[in-house]
Amino acid sequence: MKIISVVGARPNFMKIAPFIHAINRYNAINEDRIEHILVHTGQHYDDRMSKTFFESLNIPDADINLGIGSGTHAEQVGNTMIAFEQVLLEEMPDWVVVLGDVNATLACSVTAKKLKIKVCHIEAGLRSMDMDMPEEINRLVTDRLSDLLLTPDKMAVDNLVKEGVQAKNIEFVGNIMIDTLEEHREQASKIKIEDIIRENKINDTEYQDALKKEFAVVTLHRPSNVDNEKVFVALVNFLLNEVTTQMEIAWAVHPRAEKQLKAFGLWNKLISNKRTVLLHPLAYHDMLRLNMGAKLMLTDSGGLQEECTVLGTPCLTMRWNTERPVTLKEHGGLSVLVGNNIDRIRKEFEVVYNTQTQPVFPELWDGKTAERCLNAILRFEM
């Protein structure tokens, strides 16, 4: 059997690592070896956003790098389809495995199906019900085309059934990102926070004794939060004027956020705040370590909602909806949707600050999802 797996952006890297390791374990004990080819489309292509993740997660260098780079959604999808078609025509795999909801997921699933190659979608069935999110379009199209849909939770299964997907094409396998977390939890716990600051700080400020007590971790990158000046200014002012009065902040600054902070005249204000530590985008273990030590997470990331759930870190999700409702408080998780409404953020911040939380483990978030993914592919029958 020949499998081509596709990664395009950083969220994919944490998901593909355990799948590759599962294939390696299978090949070590079976004569009918799986030929695996890893394709990196290059959507995240700089060292901090890509290379360091491959190294830290023990992912081999991609066998093929399409070098797509940045661009509009149409440019990324179109260029990926053109380049990936040539790969498929040369390799003609039995399966194409796509992950998550980035542009590469959509582009490569469409290209594979047009060539009558089976498609497996890991992390299928997630829905935000928000068609303004480009990722929602990617999820819907990919799931409609996929032959095998592997879901992280039963709510995702229900979504697919409601959409008319046949039961034989759906398998509930658990959350593959948690495989990566559990594999690297111990290693991350040994990292000193002062080392993370020293190696990743953006400016030359000496952060003596920083993040020694209670601190919040911040990550923001979505256009709804960082592209609107009025919204972004209000969020930054809340962080600096209110959050830092009760705890320090560690902000891993996404390139898009950095660009807008400078454009809106907020950058120097952040740099000069001694209770805020500005960091470059972090390697996986460094972010995991900060999450493990944080009192609170404020983020618009999807994956961090999931990690917070199993780490026991309260998460204020700065979005109006989420494709991962299993992480929400009302479904037993630790995340609360607050959007970018300052009054709502303030209210939930005070609740979190005065509440003790414990880790939550949704069903099959047990570190063994990759094995179930591979077994589902091996036994699949059309």
Domains and CATH numbers, the chain: 2-175+365-379 (3.40.50.2000), 186-353 (3.40.50.2000)
Mean pLDDT of the chain: 95
pLDDT of residue 110: 98
Tokens linked to 66: 């399409």
**pLDDT at residue 6 is higher than 90:** yes
Per the DSSP assignment, residues forming a β-bridge with 328 are 335
pLDDT at position 51 is 67
pLDDT digits over 68-100, tens only?
988 899 999 999 999 999 999 999 999 999 999
Query: Which active-site residues does the annotation give?
Result: 221
**pLDDT tens sequence across 271-324:** 999 999 999 999 999 999 999 999 999 999 989 999 999 999 999 999 999 999
Tokens standing for 317?
Answer: 């999700």
For 336-368, how does the pLDDT look when each residue is reduced to its tens digit (9 = 90+)?
999 999 999 999 999 988 989 999 999 999 999
Tokens representing 156 are 């995702």
Strand partners, 251: 218, 278
Q: Are strands 215-219 and 35-40 parallel, antiparallel or unpaired?
A: unpaired
Helices first, then strands: H and E counts in the chain: 16, 13
CB 321 within 8 A of CB 331: no
Q: What percent of the chain has pLDDT over 90?
A: 89
pLDDT of residue 45 exceeding 60: no
Question: Average of pLDDT values for 7-22?
Answer: 93
Spatial distance between the Cα atoms of 49 and 61, rounded to a whole number of angstroms: 15
- pLDDT of 11: 83
355-365: b or e for each residue (b if 16 or more CB lie within 10 Å)?
Answer: eebeebebebb
